[in-house]
Structure 1
Amino acid sequence: MALPLAERIAMVARRHPENPALFRQGRAVSYRELLAMARAAEKSIAALRIPEGRPVAVVAAKSPETIAVLLACMRTARPALVPSADVADKPLHQLLADTGARMLPDPHALVSGTAQPVAAGPEEPAEGRVPDGTALILTTSGSTGFPKAVPLPGAAVGAFAEWAATRFGIRGDTSVLSYAPLNFDLSLLDVWTTLARGGRVALVEQDRAAHPRHLLSLLRQCPVQVVQGVPMLFQLLGAAEKHAGGEEFATVRDVLVTGDVLSPDGLAVLPGLFPRARMHNVYGCTETNDTFVHEMDPTGDLARYGAVPIGRPVEGVAADIRAEDGSVLDGPGRGELIVSSPFQTSGYLDRAHQAKAFVSHPGATTPGTYYRTGDLVTRHPDGVLTLDGRSDFVVKVRGIRINTAAVEGALRSHPEVADAVVLALPDERTGRRLHAVVHRAAGSLLNSLRLREHVAAELPRAGIPSGIEFVDAPLPRTTTGKIDRRTVANSL
């Protein structure tokens, strides 16, 4: 039987206590120091006398202390909710209510032994909310609504770490860049898989994550072999390359792009940035973790598939495509992707959300619970999948079904468009109308007439936005790098 992830990390600390575990702000934290901080946090949490089995919440400000507190929770089998460091009060209170979690004091205070109890809130029973065996409770991005709590069983986290370490060669001599926030599922590879294998985690400061010079400085101080991130990270590294000395990316051997669609321009910049690296497009959801991987061919993929594929299922993952009538699609075609993964959540805590998202296999050919990803995919004749957009982004405009993700793709294909988001707004005459907010490239004088003419070549008339608003600043994004649609909508 495989050792629990926390025990694997403790074993590394016992065998190689002085090896670097974390690197932050020019300083390395050894495995001995990390384990000592975790043990101190265990004592502080025990002194708070939180009922046994009740989840706790650790706000995910990325630091060695926060990682030590989460490790302490894993070591004592206490489920840890990991809300975003900048989560607003209302969604935070909702997450606490959904999980029954008690908020912990600041991680620095827990590690130093100076923690004071925080307001406990109503003493509601935790039984039945968070399943037994849960290690971490991550949160969805909340880009289209309130974030949902996603409990991950310790066994699933451990199974993922085993797979990821093997697939991407993460060992005791491997350094991995940690760009994503700790509440994002990317941290399962960047942080927890790396620590379980005795590697070193290079921590990007969250409040400086959008600063190219900070990224360059970190890579100079702590050369890394594995870089995983959303497309926005690679845009930033592309901008940073203008100030780079050339050695910052020389050690990188594996690049993982995940979390969002990689544009043709984004794909084109990768070979120049990482000339010695294998490049992987990784697909997954917070609910399932990574389920598809494709080793990218920067020149051949677009010519063959018209987009960067998500590839094929990883080992142990079952996946199918569900057609509009609910049947399973055989052979090439298009529909909603459903997956069953050994790394997936035990399910949402809200039964209504659970029933909608987790279903039995439509054909009943494979046992297990499948997650409805909500992603529309195309299966090509060779079995490779490409991502088309979101089923929840499909709206009817003048009676015609339009995928707003496809409209966004058409807008972004214009060379003077840096980014775009499309919202379906209520309309008294047509029921819905499409409104685009477009971030123009620096110095561009692009106008709505020219942009409409550009997208008309690939979109039906109903798919051409009736309103186009240009902005010269980047679109707002969540901490996980996705466009914050709620913020955009509220600004209209």
Structure 2
Amino acid sequence: MSATLASDILATARLRPDAVALAGMPGEDTDVGYGELAALAERTGRVLDASFAADRPLALVAAKTPASIALILACLSAGRPLLLLSPDLGDETVTTLVGRAGAQALATVDGGRLTWTTLPDGPETAAALPGGTSLVLTTSGSTGVPKLVPLTAGALDAFTAWAGAFLGLDGDSRVLNYAPLNFDLCLLDIWATLRHGGRVLLVDPARAAEPAYLARLIRVGRPHVVQGVPLLFRLLAEAGAHLRGDGVRHVLLTGDHVPRQVRRQLPGLFPRAGLHNVYGCTETNDSMIHSFGPAEAADEDVLPLGEPVQGTLIAVRDGERDISGPGRGELLVSTPFQTPGYLAEPAVRDRFPERDGRTWYRTGDLVERDADGRLRLVGRTDFQVKVRGVRVNVEEVERVLTDRPEVAEAAVVALPDPDAGVALHAFVRPSGAEVTGLQLRTLCAARLNRVAIPSRFHLLSGPLPVGPTGKVDRRRLQEHVT
């Protein structure tokens, strides 16, 4: 019988039961060993067998606790499909998602223990899970109700094996987990680490925006791998000299574009680490990686996406035409780690076209290939708007703004305008230096087409609102204006 993600974790529990599996637990001072985690998963599995049918999925509001992680391990071990939900979702959205997934029961964490609510059958429970489904993740929901993303056991096994080999994970490895438990980054942070017998340093979600706390966790926990969205690295840059990340071997930037003013500080914060720009999404997991050094961190406006990871194919398409040379188009990806398709979303089946005997995923990301064949992310195809008839990608405007040291954060949204059709509004948090809307307008005028210059600049005193994945919540920014 071949080794799997779950079987390798349980093998470590038998061979090294006292080895630490989870450290830095929210609100707790004690570590959780592999033997303790396996025993908790076994007890949870017995409850599942006694209470729930094996052929229907379960759902979990995925608070970051040992009980939650043990439940996931129990389901992985038994082949039970499990839907992971963000604790930040509203009750109505949770009801919609568990109905679409056909979940028979919903688990929540209360006082460190699991509490189960049996769910009634409903009209939306007809979605058929693909064969071999193990976990069901959700997209960020930035454009509406989150989509359900089933991942098969084979995809999880392949991804965690690849991640372990790429990062050199073993029983001595320590890996920081910043992402929420329901987020796809945990497939590397938590599950690849546990599969290879390492120690996971769990960031308390309630303190995830505190630079001093994060710096102390890295200073005391001494992780070898740090992966995170741009928000994490902005916070660590704010911590500065208090960080002491000299023990870190790999730094992985993922989730979105990291502004150059943050990126240029990384070699000083992590002087011995290899720096990697990672491209991926919930539907495909990691697909491309570009390793870079201090000069590129400081000098490149936008880092290349890099080379496809093991077994991954990529294509760039402009409409129905493949782009093989320089040019812009939508990125398509086919990986061994990807979902077979969304659940209960018949309107978006075209996002998973069949080509050359493989299933591909249309990422919705607009990329540009240069004369040397390197791909760079331009922005989302759905973040393109027309201003006075000219196509503008708001993420390009954001990069111009965040490239300035006096700007800590920036986001641009398009709102209806009676004259221009849409008007661009820029929301900017200064880094501390005096900055005015006129100065920002002048900055944009030097680097952007005239129609891409925002009509209004809103200067904010606090951080931009973010969603569960750490990305800017543009809908809340729109409400700020309307």
**How far is the alpha carbon of 1:107 from its aligned partner?**
4.3
Q: Which amino acid aligns with 2:309?
A: V
Pairing of 1:37-48 with structure 2 (within 5 A): 37-48=40-51
Partner of 2:280: 284
Structure 2 CA distance for aligned equivalents of residues 165 and 105 of structure 1: 30
- Counterpart check, 1:12 vs 2:12: yes
- Counterpart check, 1:467 vs 2:469: no
Which of 440, 455, 458 aligns to 2:444? It is 455
Partner of 1:417: 407
TM-score, normalising length: structure 2: 0.95
- Counterpart check, 1:162 vs 2:161: yes
Segment of structure 1 superposing worse, 123-132 or 94-103 = 123-132
User: Secondary structure of 2:85's match?
Assistant: coil
Partner of 2:428: 438
Structure 1 CA distance for aligned equivalents of residues 378 and 366 of structure 2: 5
Segment of structure 1 superposing worse, 411-420 or 147-156 = 411-420
Partner of 1:217: 216
User: Secondary structure of 1:457's match?
Assistant: helix
Classify 1:288/1:182 alpha carbon distance in 2 versus 1 (closer, same or farther; 3 Å): same
Partner of 1:356: 350
Partner of 1:200: 199
- Counterpart check, 1:29 vs 2:32: yes
In 2, are the aligned partners of 1:66 and 1:108 still within 8 Å (CA)? no
Q: Which amino acid aligns with 2:95?
A: H
Classify 1:274/1:471 alpha carbon distance in 2 versus 1 (closer, same or farther; 3 Å): same
Structure 2 CA distance for aligned equivalents of residues 407 and 221 of structure 1: 39
In 1, are the aligned partners of 2:63 and 2:109 still within 8 Å (CA)? no
Q: Which amino acid aligns with 1:264?
A: R
Partner of 1:391: 381
Partner of 2:106: 104
Which of 302, 309, 312 aligns to 1:314? It is 309
Structure 2 CA distance for aligned equivalents of residues 129 and 386 of structure 1: 37
**How far is the alpha carbon of 1:350 from its aligned partner?**
2.7
- Counterpart check, 1:69 vs 2:107: no
**How far is the alpha carbon of 1:459 from its aligned partner?**
1.2
Structure 1 CA distance for aligned equivalents of residues 476 and 411 of structure 2: 11
Q: Which amino acid aligns with 2:275?
A: M
1:73-119 deviation line (CA, Å, top 9, x unaligned): 1112111111111111222122112211134333468x86xx66524
Structure 1 CA distance for aligned equivalents of residues 232 and 427 of structure 2: 22
In 2, are the aligned partners of 1:55 and 1:126 still within 8 Å (CA)? no
Partner of 1:227: 226
Which of 84, 87, 103 aligns to 1:85? It is 87
Structure 1 CA distance for aligned equivalents of residues 115 and 445 of structure 2: 61
Classify 1:116/1:278 alpha carbon distance in 2 versus 1 (closer, same or farther; 3 Å): closer
- Counterpart check, 1:273 vs 2:269: yes
In 2, are the aligned partners of 1:144 and 1:484 still within 8 Å (CA)? no
Note the residue ranges of structure 2 that are not aligned, 5 or more in a row. Answer: none
**How far is the alpha carbon of 1:15 from its aligned partner?**
1.4
- Counterpart check, 1:406 vs 2:396: yes
Segment of structure 1 superposing worse, 294-303 or 420-429 = 294-303
Q: Which amino acid aligns with 2:303?
A: V
**How far is the alpha carbon of 1:380 from its aligned partner?**
2.3
Structure 2 CA distance for aligned equivalents of residues 421 and 235 of structure 1: 15
Partner of 2:477: 488
**How far is the alpha carbon of 1:403 from its aligned partner?**
0.6
Classify 1:300/1:86 alpha carbon distance in 2 versus 1 (closer, same or farther; 3 Å): closer
Structure 1 CA distance for aligned equivalents of residues 315 and 115 of structure 2: 50
Note the residue ranges of structure 1 that are not aligned, 5 or more in a row. Answer: none
In 2, are the aligned partners of 1:423 and 1:434 still within 8 Å (CA)? yes
Partner of 1:54: 56
Structure 2 CA distance for aligned equivalents of residues 434 and 228 of structure 1: 32
Q: Which amino acid aligns with 1:315?
A: Q
User: Secondary structure of 2:448's match?
Assistant: coil
In 1, are the aligned partners of 2:22 and 2:33 still within 8 Å (CA)? yes
User: Secondary structure of 2:164's match?
Assistant: helix
Classify 1:414/1:215 alpha carbon distance in 2 versus 1 (closer, same or farther; 3 Å): closer
Classify 1:292/1:285 alpha carbon distance in 2 versus 1 (closer, same or farther; 3 Å): same
1:257-297 deviation line (CA, Å, top 9, x unaligned): 11110111121010000001111111100000000001012
1:102-156 deviation line (CA, Å, top 9, x unaligned): 34333468x86xx665242335695652222111111111233222111111100
**How far is the alpha carbon of 1:318 from its aligned partner?**
0.5
**How far is the alpha carbon of 1:72 from its aligned partner?**
0.9
User: Secondary structure of 1:376's match?
Assistant: strand
Segment of structure 1 superposing worse, 271-280 or 229-238 = 229-238
Q: Which amino acid aligns with 2:46?
A: K
TM-score, normalising length: structure 1: 0.93
Segment of structure 1 superposing worse, 100-109 or 174-183 = 100-109
Pairing of 1:108-187 with structure 2 (within 5 A): 117-122=116-121, 128-187=127-186
Q: Which amino acid aligns with 1:283?
A: Y
- Counterpart check, 1:341 vs 2:335: yes
Structure 2 CA distance for aligned equivalents of residues 192 and 470 of structure 1: 40
Q: Which amino acid aligns with 1:11?
A: A
Structure 1 CA distance for aligned equivalents of residues 158 and 439 of structure 2: 51
Which of 300, 312, 335 aligns to 2:296? It is 300
In 2, are the aligned partners of 1:53 and 1:126 still within 8 Å (CA)? no
**How far is the alpha carbon of 1:4 from its aligned partner?**
2.2
- Counterpart check, 1:254 vs 2:250: yes
Structure 1 CA distance for aligned equivalents of residues 416 and 45 of structure 2: 52
User: Secondary structure of 1:131's match?
Assistant: coil
In 2, are the aligned partners of 1:347 and 1:354 still within 8 Å (CA)? no
Percent identical among aligned pairs is 45
Partner of 2:367: 377
Q: Which amino acid aligns with 1:120?
A: L
Q: Which amino acid aligns with 2:439?
A: R
Structure 2 CA distance for aligned equivalents of residues 392 and 47 of structure 1: 46
Structure 2 CA distance for aligned equivalents of residues 384 and 291 of structure 1: 15
Structure 1 CA distance for aligned equivalents of residues 60 and 166 of structure 2: 30
**How far is the alpha carbon of 1:27 from its aligned partner?**
2.0
Classify 1:271/1:353 alpha carbon distance in 2 versus 1 (closer, same or farther; 3 Å): farther
**How far is the alpha carbon of 1:387 from its aligned partner?**
0.9
